[in-house]
Amino acid sequence: MKVVIVRSNLKEGLGIISGASGENLNLPILKHSLFDVSDNRIKLTTTNLEIAASFLIPGKIIEQGNATIPLGIFQNLINNLQSERLNIEKNKNSIEIKTDNYQALIQGLAPEDFPIIPKISDENKNEFIEIDSGVFKEALSQVVVGTQFSDLRPELNSVFFNFSLENIKLVATDSFRLAEKTIPSSQFKTNHKNTFKLLVPLKTNQELLRILKEGEVLKIYHDLNQILFKTENLEFISRLVDSNFPDYTAVIPKKFDSEIVVNREELVSALKLAGIFGSRFSEIKIRVPEAKKTVEVWSVDETVGENHYFLTAKVQGKAKEANFNWRHLLDGLKAIRGGEVFLGLNSEDNKPALLKTPSDVFYLYILMPILKT
């Protein structure tokens, strides 16, 4: 194997696939990346046996072949090199990197020992969804705020993909809040004839958010156990979570006892300010007075002090006071687009509040209030 690659291209490629490499004491080769030069393309691959990422990088091919290279060391080296043109050549199991004034030899492992990257099964490999990567990335970023890693509820560490012919719904929840994004069929193309539901691990989604670029054509394939995201240069395959997502539609509130519409930016700064005084539990209060044009955001901490922030708002319905975790509220606010935001509250404490852009039907964020102690 012998190639010449421009450093910035290699750096970009390594950055993209690095997220899929893994720590595995049993299998040291997982810390390596596979350098595969065949069919006139240079492909870099890493895997941690849960996900696998492959990326094609441009370069001049002098001789085909493959090799593995320890990713961490390679990345460090590439980041610190000054020269732009790199000659990379395999020498037995070692890799030689040469520039005009620099030379390095890195120990690799036998490429045959690198895990074989699974493929989508034959019966499913022709069915896909085609979507603009920017649209998908935006949708995903709005949804992943609804959950966080938790060892305690592993079934929630995932994003729910619910495909019907009319739309794709993405949903995530950690049971304190829930975010749902609808991508209408006008924004994607597909040749699927049937509906399906998938649970994609949260880690996969976060990795996708990191590596997907905007303005590319993204194709999504899946079979029983895995999902593949494919752009021109990237192939990203992940296992699916074999579990059930709860029927969440019942918990989305339809009616509210009080409804407010406020400027989003203002509410964000009100929350950040209130957060300074937020107690240990990040608790803040939102008070909606009856028939007035202001909403009060206040927080109190015995050891720090308290603050009140008054926002102009359109208020409808009954007077109401509710406590929230301000971080959770802020997560939702940041995911919402547009200058104004709608907040619907209910007087029963076991019913969630709803956050959305007033006229937007494609995104919603619901949040449980903190019980008054």
Chain residues in the site for another protein (CB under 8 A): 24, 26-28, 47, 49-50, 52, 115-118, 150-155, 173, 175-178, 194, 224-226, 239, 241-248, 251, 281, 325, 349-350, 352, 366, 368-371, 373
> Cα dist. 266→45, 208, 259, 269, 341 in Å?
45, 31, 17, 5, 10
Q: Who's near 122: CB < 8 A, 6+ residues apart?
A: none
Tell me whether residue 86 or residue 199 sits nearer to another protein (CB atom): 199
Comparing C-alpha atoms, which of 236, 211, 227 is closest to residue 48? 236
Contact yes or no for 171/159 (Cβ under 8 A): yes
CB of 250 to another protein, least distance (A): 8
Q: Which is closer to another protein, CB of 153 or CB of 189?
A: 153
Minimum gap (Å) between residue 77 Cβ and another protein: 26
**Minimum distance, C-beta of residue 370 to another protein, in the bound complex (Å):** 6
116 or 291, CB closer to another protein? 116
- Alpha-carbon torsion angle 202, 360, 231, 56, nearest 10: -60
Q: Return contacts of 290-298, CB within 8 angstroms, 24+ apart.
A: 290/315, 290/318, 290/319, 291/315, 295/260, 295/262, 297/267, 297/270, 297/271, 297/273, 298/274
User: How far apart are CB 294 and another protein at their closest, in Å?
Assistant: 26
What does 228-292 look like in DSSP terms, one character per residue?
A: EEE-SSEEEEEEPP-S-----GGGS----SEEEEEEHHHHHHHHHHHHHT--TT-EEEEEE-TT-
In the bound state with another protein, the residue whose beta carbon lies nearer, of 50 and 84, is: 50
Structure tokens at 276: 């300074």
Q: Residue 38 or 279: which CB sits closer to another protein?
A: 279
- Based on CB atoms, which residue is closest to another protein, 80 or 194? 194
Tell the smallest beta-carbon distance from residue 144 to another protein (Å).
17
For the bound state, the minimum distance from the C-beta of residue 153 to another protein, rounded and expressed in Å, comes to 7
Q: Decide whether 55 or 114 has the Cβ nearer to another protein.
A: 114
